[in-house]
């Protein structure tokens, strides 16, 4: 009880000071629409900034995500495995419908990744969609099948190649530009698929990476903790 009173006594004055005296300006960032169309060619402004102007930030963020997933799968080996007989049986609707839904989810996520520069979307959203879609299949099949797929695809080794490929793309930027992390000079026509330089390839790489990571985390949580 004492801690609640002390915390309230500290937080309420902070919030009141902020509510009455805080000043927020309204400045705009220096990217204008015409510039992005001319220099980059994609009509999604956020994709142009994330994968062209500030690609160095995205490279480090993919590294953070990869390291977190490697850490999770390293530490989770210490927990005991939950056996299959503890799960209750799923209903018939889920058993029939989940594999069909899974095929549609794969198509949706591929579309969202490839068309990331013509509409909203991009690599991150596509990876999360596919990762949680694969989780739906886990409800239906027994645990040993999914374990076999997991080990046979060697996904733990392949998911770490993505930051390496982005780094190679960055270093090769000297070949077709002047400095590291320069985009391919393929501006193209805005609105068509082949525009915006190398954004398609980067989106596919990041989508694969986020898919592998999300699926690893969710699958290991189910294996060592069980479902309700």
Q: Nearer Cβ to other proteins, position 94 or 168?
A: 168
Q: Determine, following the binding rule CB under 8 A, whether residue 71 of this chain makes contact with other proteins.
A: yes
Q: Determine, following the binding rule CB under 8 A, whether residue 199 of this chain makes contact with other proteins.
A: no
Q: Determine, following the binding rule CB under 8 A, whether residue 155 of this chain makes contact with other proteins.
A: no
Q: Nearer Cβ to other proteins, position 96 or 161?
A: 161
Q: Which of 164, 175, 189, 228 binds other proteins (CB under 8 A)?
A: 164
H-assigned helices in 51-188: 55-75, 92-114, 123-138, 143-152, 155-158, 161-171, 173-176
Q: Nearer Cβ to other proteins, position 94 or 171?
A: 171
> Who contacts 179 (Cβ-Cβ below 8 Å, separation ≥6)?
173
Q: Determine, following the binding rule CB under 8 A, whether residue 25 of this chain makes contact with other proteins.
A: yes
Cα separation, 184 vs 187, in Å, equals 8
Single out the residue of 102, 108, 132 nearest to residue 216, CA to CA: 132
Q: Nearer Cβ to other proteins, position 93 or 189?
A: 189
> Who contacts 180 (Cβ-Cβ below 8 Å, separation ≥6)?
170, 171, 173, 174
Q: Which of residues 90-119 bind other proteins (CB under 8 A)?
A: 119
């Amino acid at each position: 009880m004492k801690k609640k009173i002390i915390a309230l006594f500290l937080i309420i004055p902070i919030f009141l000071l902020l509510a009455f005296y805080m000043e927020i300006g309204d400045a705009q960032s220096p990217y204008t629409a015409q510039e992005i169309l001319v220099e980059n060619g994609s009509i999604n402004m956020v994709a142009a900034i994330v994968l062209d102007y500030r690609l160095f930030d995205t490279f480090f963020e993919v590294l953070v995500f990869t390291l977190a997933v490697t850490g999770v799968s390293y530490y989770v080996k210490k927990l005991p495995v939950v056996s299959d007989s503890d799960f209750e049986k799923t209903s018939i609707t889920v058993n029939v419908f989940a594999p069909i839904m899974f095929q549609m989810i794969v198509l949706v996520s591929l579309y969202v990744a490839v068309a990331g520069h013509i509409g909203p979307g991009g690599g991150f959203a596509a990876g999360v969609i596919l990762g949680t879609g694969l989780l739906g299949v886990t409800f239906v099949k027994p645990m040993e099948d999914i374990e076999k797929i997991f080990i046979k695809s060697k996904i733990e080794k392949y998911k770490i190649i993505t930051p390496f490929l982005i780094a190679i793309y960055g270093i090769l930027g000297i070949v077709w530009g002047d400095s590291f992390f320069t985009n391919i000079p393929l501006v193209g026509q805005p609105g068509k698929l082949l525009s915006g330089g190398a954004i398609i390839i980067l989106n596919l790489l990041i989508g694969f990476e986020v898919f592998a990571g999300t699926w690893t985390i969710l699958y290991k949580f189910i294996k060592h903790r069980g479902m309700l």
